[in-house]
Structures are given as C-alpha cells and as structure tokens.
Chain A
Amino acid sequence: MIDEVIVETKNLNWSYNETKVLDNVSIDIQFGTFSGILGPNGAGKTTLLKLILNLLKVEKNSILIRGKDIKNYSRKELARIEAYVPQSIKMDFNFTVEQVVLMGRTPFLGRFDRESGRDFEIAEWAMKETGVLGLKNKLITQLSGGELQRVVIARALTQEPIIMALDEPTSHLDIHHQINILSILRSLAKKEGLTIVAVLHDVNHALEYCNNIFLLDQGKIVDSGSPEKVITPEVMKNVYNLDVNIKKNPFTGNPYIVHDYA
C-alpha cells in the first residue's frame, strides 16, 4: 500500500437551507483502503460523499484531492480520478449494457473522438471483473437490481479511477447480492489498488469489509479508524441508541454485532 492521502477534508462545513448538515468534518482517505462512511439516517453521509465528488458546491480549500484543491480540477480531470456509483439509477432508454459501461470512457475522449479498441478492451475488462460480461448485449431496462448495480460499478471501473465512491451500493439488493457486490469491491481494492469509499448502512458489512471507518452523527465525525477500534458497544449506544454485543464471526474471524430486537 502506497502511503498517500487521496482525499482530505479540512474543517468541512456544509449547510442546506440554513440547516447545518456537516459540521467541521476533517477526514483523510488513504490510497488503496476500503473506507466506510457510517452513521444513522440524516447524519450527513451522502452529503459528505457528494462533496468529495464535487457534486455539491464547496468552499475553497476545504477538500483536497491528491493534495490539490478540488475546486481547481475541471470536471473532466476529476472524472479521471474519481468514479461515482449512485444509490440507484432509473433508466427509460434502451441502452445496451456495453453502451452504458463504455460511457465510463467519456473523460478520456475528445469532442470528436469515438471509442477505440483500447476503450472497448477496458470496458470488457471491467465487465469481466464485475461478472456482467455475459450481459454485454442485454438492454439495461431488462436487468435485475443486482445486475444493474454491477453494470454501474463496471461503468465506474471503466473510468480507470483511483477512487470509487459508492452511495449505499447494496441498499436495494438481497443478501446474496449484497455480499457479491461488496466482495467484488474488496477484491478490486486488493488486486487493483483501487481506493473505495462507500456509504454503508449495515454495520456488520463495514466490520467485515472495511479497513477504515468514518462514523458520522448529526454532521460530526464521532470517530474514525479501524472498524474494531471505532465500533464498540458504547459508541453503538451513543450513536444508534442500540444495545449491542460484539462477537467473533466463526467464518472469517472478524467481529460482528448482535443486538436485542425488543
């Protein structure tokens, strides 16, 4: 792992119509890590993710991407560094899977360029990595939720990004597909050195997959660091108002939480 901070936020504040959504958030995201942004509903997770993608307006010098102010990047430059996987995509147009994946090459194409052999190769590689190569010629409107999510990840991969930012990538999926998506992401982080930042809802997924957690509550960072360090019964009580026990997963040896259902 190369010791480089890819994303740095410095005392980041953000308000929506006078309401403070993020309050003095300072985080560092290291190269090649799998980071999870956790917190209860309304904690500001999605806002933080969108800010580091420059999808929301931000003040000068509060977010640095590879040491440079995010405001000094053009959208195209940024699209070669960061890729975004939204929570869900709605599509009424019959693009094929391959066409959608190839759109990930846009940041590398000039106004009059068409996709070339190399672009097709990269798209093919991305579809293989995410297990959708067999769906290449299928229409995007005919896919299941799990297939669609993998196609969107393939499109993001096709951007050859350094960092991939995902907003609740598993929220519309059944448990099998949740694990499938997260495992794909973990293997990409390991194999390709891809830095992953994902807003996650399931604390157990974060404990299993992340090597770094940012825990947000009411727009403030409660704690950050390794999952074992951040997720404690005290923190879970304070942030989620939940009594939990921490156990060891017999399959993986990683911690997981159990809680009362009263």
Chain B
Amino acid sequence: MHFKEMISGKYKKTVFLLLLIILLVTIVIAGSLGSARISFPDVVRIIIEPITPMSIENSNIKETSRIIIWKIRLPRIILTVIAGMGLGVSGAVFQGIFRNPMANPYILGISSGAAFGVTLGMTMGLQITFLGIGAIPISAFIGAISASVIVYLISGGGRDILPLLLSGIAMGFLLSALMSLLMYFNRSQLENIVYWTMGSFNAASWQKVIITAPVILSGSFFIIIFARDLNLMVLGEDSANSLGISVKKSRLIFLLVSTFITASAVAVSGVIGFVGLIVPHAMRIITGPDHRTLIPYSMFGGAILLLTSDTLARTIIAPTEIPVGIVTSLLGAPFFLFLLNRMRNTK
C-alpha cells in the first residue's frame, strides 16, 4: 500500500471501524462458546435485551442462558477486553517513552512487583477486602505500584531513560529472588502462586470490572489526548524540548498513568505477557507510528488479542482451562521472533 494512503484519514477510520467490528464479533463468539453452547443470535439478543426499548421475540431464550451470559461469561469478557485495552495502550506508551519498539509495560518492574505482592499476601494469609475486591488483586496492585515508584526514584527521578531501564531490570531480578525465597519456605502456597503468575481471568466479576474500567478507560483517554507529545519524545529529549514540550514532566505523567493502567490490568488477571509488546508493534505496521492513531488502535488490538486468547484458553481443552498467559506467550513469542527478524532484514 502507498504510504500517502496509509496516513490518510479515511484509511485510518476504515481500519478503526474494522477493529471495532472484529472486537464485537469476538465478544459474541466468546459469549457463545463454553460448556453450554449458546447460539450467536441468542448471545446478541441476551446482551442487547436490557438496552433495547422494543421487546424482541425472546420467548425461546432459556433462562439459564441469560444467567450464564450475564453472571459468568459477560463479566469475564468485559474484564478481559478492559485489561487487553490497558495492556495495549501502556505497551504503546512505554515503547514511545523508551524510544524503543521492543519495550513493554513490565520493564519498570510492574509484573515482578505484582507477583511479589501476591506472594507476600498469600504466604502471610492476608484476608483483606476493599470495595468488594479480595486480597490477591489488592496485594498485586500495591506491589506493582510500589516497585515502579521505587525504580523511578532510585534511577534519579527519570532524568534519563537508560538508568530507568536498568533499574527496572535489577528490580525485577531482586523481586523474583525474594519471591522464590518466600515460595521456598511456604510450599503449601506454591501452586497458587505459580498459577497466579501465569495469568487468568477465571476469577472475573462485575465488581472487578467496575473497579478497573474507570482507571483503564480514563487513563487511556488521557493518553490519547496527550499522544502527540509521545511523537516528539521519540525524536529524543533535546529535540522534543526544543519543539516546546517539557520532556521530563511529560515522561513522568505518561509513566504514572500507564503504570496505573498496567497495575490495574495485572491486579485482576495476573502476569499476561506479550500483549503489551506485540499489539503496538502490529498496529504500527498497519497505521504507522503516529501515536494519535497508534494508541486507540492498540487499545482495540489489545482487547481483541486478549479476548481471543482467553476464549482459546478456556475452551481449547475444556473442561480444563489453560492460564491465558500461556496462550498469549505461545502466540506472542513466535510473532516477536518474526518481528525481530523482519527488523534485521529491513536495516
């Protein structure tokens, strides 16, 4: 395709509409699949029932189907979509901030912080709840945020990118070691901890949707508004400053918002790899690197990839469920290698 067409507004709108349609179709498919098969038209009818004023011919829908959709499948689908959006957006932001298309949302130690938090919570037998959210997501969220804040502070307040990156890596190793230590002395919790780190949406609930959706959606909206600054930051700090933005301030704001987005996603799902890395990458191939379109695209791309992966995870060898993190890594790692190869060849 010609690049002039690629950056034209019409092309971008068409692709965006396409992504939206794919997401809606995926939602319907995900709603249909499971131990009890529900037909596609029924899924659609059940979902739009409460928001259509006209009464549709619904008499033939089984009440159990309604319960399965509204109580079990839909909260999980929506939570997956929201988490996927968050990982897609924050992946694009981290790649922009670090000026590196190979960066991902976990490089500041969010994932290891969350995993350590969960390990600590489980081994201490933490029994707190907050706003209807249990101990595990809370300890994951606190662990994720604390690890990132510490990394930011010890690397000199984000004065430079490289110390931030290296401190994040060091923090990751440190927390993994501490986590292994805790696990070694608390073997009764071993299985639970390992299972959590693989990532899963099987504990999804409307309560989790209500807590995470505002954080992830408003955070993403905020980032879309400031997306142009990311374009400039990719040029380098001095160039961006000389074009009228304050890089240090913008970087802090972007890091803060995307850290909250990522931590929220991780808290309700565990460590799901590769979504934040692969999605912005794939979207950049489709739309180019302009963050004003890349961010919304990554939002929808992340939702589609994660929902597809989660649906596969719970249906492919049903009734057994595979952790979704395994599915995304199985899909993501080969794609990542393909991209690396592609980059080497174009250079």
Q: What is A's interface to B at a CB cutoff of 8 Å? A: 50, 53-55, 74-76, 78-80, 82-84, 86, 89-96, 98-100, 103-104, 106-107, 109, 111-112, 137-139, 141, 159
Contacts and interface: CB of A to CB of B under 8 A. Distances in A.
Nearest to A108: B244
Contact of A137 (B2, B101, B232, B234): B2
Interface stretch (B235-243, B256-264, B322-330): B235-243
A103 B291 CA distance: 12
A127 B244 CA distance: 21
Nearest to A100: B235
A106 B243 contact: yes
Contacts of A107: 243-244
Interface in B228-275: 228, 231-232, 234-236, 238-239, 241-246
Contacts of B2: 137
Nearest to B288: A94
A137 B4 contact: yes
Contacts of B346: 141
Contact of B3 (A106, A109, A139): A139
B289 interface: yes
A239 B99 CA distance: 39
A84 B238 contact: yes
A75 B231 contact: no
A82 B242 contact: yes
B272 to A, nearest CB: 25
Contact of A94 (B99, B238, B245, B284): B284
Nearest to A159: B243
Given A75-B246, A92-B101, A139-B3, A106 B232 contact: yes
Interface of B: 2-4, 7, 99-101, 225-226, 228, 231-232, 234-236, 238-239, 241-246, 284, 288-290, 346-347
A96 B7 contact: yes
A92 B244 contact: no
Contact of A106 (B228, B238, B290): B228
Given A50-B238, A54-B241, 8 more contacts: A84-B242, A92-B100, A95-B234, A103-B235, A106-B232, A106-B245, A137-B4, A138-B3
A99 B238 contact: no
B244 A76 contact: yes
Contacts of A53: 238, 242
Contacts of B7: 96, 98-99
Given A96-B7, A103-B231, A111-B225, A89 B236 contact: yes
B239 A89 contact: yes
B3 A84 contact: no
Given A96-B3, A111-B225, A75 B239 contact: no
Nearest to B245: A75
B32 to A, nearest CB: 38
A103 B236 contact: no
Contacts of B238: 50, 53, 55, 84, 86
A53 to B, nearest CB: 6
A152 to B, nearest CB: 8
Contact of B242 (A55, A74, A139): A55
Contacts of B226: 111
Nearest to B238: A55
29 contacts: A54-B241, A55-B241, A55-B242, A74-B244, A75-B244, A79-B242, A80-B244, A84-B238, A86-B238, A89-B235, A89-B236, A91-B234, A94-B284, A94-B288, A96-B3, A96-B7, A96-B288, A100-B235, A103-B231, A103-B232, A103-B243, A104-B243, A106-B228, A106-B244, A106-B245, A111-B225, A111-B226, A112-B225, A159-B243
